[in-house]
């Protein structure tokens, strides 16, 4: 394997906008003022100031009141994903509904817990409601209703699409009809570039069974390992009863709370402007070098572009070629709920610099062309297969 020059595989925030000096100042203030608290266990809910800051984050974006005591700080959003899945499971083999293509960490967690995953087809509006209704009806008729619906409804990973409000309301109605909780993963919501912002599901429905997950990885840095769960009683109490650690990282939470004491808007504006430039460079490169061969998503937020490649691409050869030339991406199979070998790849642009993007996309394009078994023009216009 050659030196990795163009790593489009990892979904990370922009290191150039990381607020080093502001976090240094926040850390010094926290160490001066909260040394006693750092020497104690944080408790099941976690650092109060951080919960207040994140409650304000949610309330500002969604225009609804959020109680900080309904927030549980976690060690990254993956702890939140796993913890909620454990709480909602009765027995191995229970079913969970999720998008046909979803976050690999979540898929891995559900596989480890022995969930039966039921994938719902996607289109430009996210999870298709007609297919969701069909699967809920089928599972109900078999006496195997899913324990919950897991949905990344805003800047969906890997596709980048946003579920419109009307479709979210339809999902809520179906969940209510079958009495199935919704677990909403909204880690990317603040990585917004343009266009209208759709409301979170929890802001549209106050059903106490629904659970909301979020993270600091995409708006600040993944190395902080800070995420949270928003849940109302009695679901909140069920989750807390299942938590067996002594709470999340108090020091990291205290520093971030100090940094965000005036809200997340200022830093998000800086970070998102830089990310939008990188998104645009990536889209420009794809248009310039692959327009006759591939189609791809054009996300209005988030960190990912989902690319459909021709069926005649030898996907093993493509991976070998790209790695030989220092280019990395994630295979479509990484995101498929059944791990199927599908003609897709995901490009993550957030942590790359402009030169890497401008040089890297032509490398990918050449490798795709070399990995094809024909020179036929593109035979599809849609990102989604029938």
Structure confidence by residue, pLDDT tens digits, 290-343? 999 999 999 999 999 999 999 999 999 999 999 999 999 999 999 999 999 999
Strand order in the sheet with 304-308: 295-296, 304-308, 344-348, 330-331
* pLDDT at residue number 213: 97
* pLDDT at residue number 351: 95
Judged against a pLDDT cut of 70, whether residue 1 lies above it is answered with: no
Is 208 in contact with 234 (CB distance < 8 Å)?
Answer: yes
The whole-number average pLDDT for the span 352-365 is 98
Q: Which two tokens stand for residue 139?
A: 């599972």
Instruction: State the pLDDT confidence band at 41, using cuts at 50, 70 and 90.
Output: confident
Model pTM?
0.95
Sketch the domain layout of the chain as residue ranges: 6-16+266-371, 20-263
Does 3.40.50.20 match the CATH number of domain 6-16+266-371?
no
The whole-number average pLDDT for the span 336-352 is 97
The whole-number average pLDDT for the span 196-211 is 94
Q: DSSP for 177-218? A: HHT--EEEE-TTTT-B-SSPPPPPHHHH---TT-EEEEESTT
Q: How crowded is residue 328: how many other Cβ atoms within 10 Å of its Cβ?
A: 19
State the Cα–Cα distance between residues 33 and 15, nearest whole angstrom.
28
Topology classification of domain 20-263:
3.40.640
Closest Cα to residue 198, out of 291, 61, 331? 61
pLDDT tens for residues 61-111?
A: 999 999 999 999 999 899 999 999 999 999 999 999 999 999 999 999 999
The answer to which of 347-356, 359-368, 373-382 has the lowest mean pLDDT is 373-382
Judged against a pLDDT cut of 80, whether residue 2 lies above it is answered with: no
Judged against a pLDDT cut of 70, whether residue 143 lies above it is answered with: yes
pLDDT tens for residues 228-260?
A: 999 999 999 999 999 998 888 999 999 999 999
State the Cα–Cα distance between residues 322 and 325, nearest whole angstrom.
5
**Average pLDDT of the chain, as a whole number:** 95
Closest Cα to residue 110, out of 86, 136, 143, 75? 86
Is 72 in contact with 278 (CB distance < 8 Å)?
Answer: no
* pLDDT at residue number 246: 83
Q: DSSP for 123-143? A: ETTEE-HHHHHHHHHHHHHTT
* pLDDT at residue number 224: 87
Q: Collect all residues with Cβ–Cβ distance below 8 Å to 253 and sequence separation of at least 6.
A: 42, 46, 47, 49, 50, 73, 226
The whole-number average pLDDT for the span 264-288 is 96
Closest Cα to residue 349, out of 325, 323, 366, 329? 329
Is 198 in contact with 301 (CB distance < 8 Å)?
Answer: no
């Amino acid at each position: 394997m050659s030196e990795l020059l163009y790593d489009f595989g990892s979904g990370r925030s922009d290191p150039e906008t990381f607020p080093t000096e502001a976090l240094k100042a926040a850390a010094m203030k926290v160490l001066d003022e909260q040394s006693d608290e750092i020497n104690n266990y944080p408790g099941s809910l976690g650092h109060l100031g951080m919960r207040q800051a994140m409650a304000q984050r949610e309330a500002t974006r969604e225009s609804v009141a959020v109680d900080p005591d309904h927030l549980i700080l976690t060690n990254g959003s993956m702890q939140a994903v796993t913890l909620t899945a454990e709480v909602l499971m009765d027995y191995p083999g229970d079913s969970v509904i999720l998008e046909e293509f979803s976050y690999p960490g979540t898929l891995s967690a559900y596989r480890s817990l022995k969930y039966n995953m039921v994938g719902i087809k996607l289109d430009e509006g996210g999870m298709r409601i007609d297919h969701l209704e069909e699967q809920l009806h089928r599972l109900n008729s078999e006496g195997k209703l899913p324990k919950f619906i897991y949905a990344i409804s805003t800047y969906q990973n890997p596709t980048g699409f946003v579920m419109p409000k009307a479709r979210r309301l339809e999902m809520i109605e179906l969940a209510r009809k079958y009495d199935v909780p919704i677990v909403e993963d909204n880690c990317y919501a603040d990585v917004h570039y343009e266009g209208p912002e759709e409301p979170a599901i929890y802001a549209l429905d106050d059903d106490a069974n629904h659970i909301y997950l979020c993270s600091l990885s995409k708006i600040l840095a993944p190395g902080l390992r800070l995420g949270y769960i928003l849940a109302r009683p009695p679901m909140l109490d069920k989750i807390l009863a299942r938590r067996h650690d002594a709470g999340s990282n108090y020091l990291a939470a205290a520093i971030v709370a100090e940094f965000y004491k005036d809200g997340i808007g200022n830093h998000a504006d800086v970070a998102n402007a830089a990310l939008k430039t990188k998104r645009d460079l990536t889209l420009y490169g794809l248009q310039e070098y692959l327009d006759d061969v591939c189609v791809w998503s054009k996300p209005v937020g988030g960190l990912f572009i989902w690319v459909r490649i021709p069926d005649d691409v030898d996907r093993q050869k493509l991976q070998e070629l790209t790695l030989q030339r220092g280019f990395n991406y994630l295979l479509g199979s990484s995101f498929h709920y059944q791990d199927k070998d599908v003609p897709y790849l995901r490009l993550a642009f957030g942590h790359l610099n402009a030169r890497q993007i401008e040089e890297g996309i032509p490398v990918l394009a050449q490798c795709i062309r070399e990995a094809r078994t024909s020179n036929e023009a593109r035979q599809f216009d849609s990102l989604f297969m029938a």
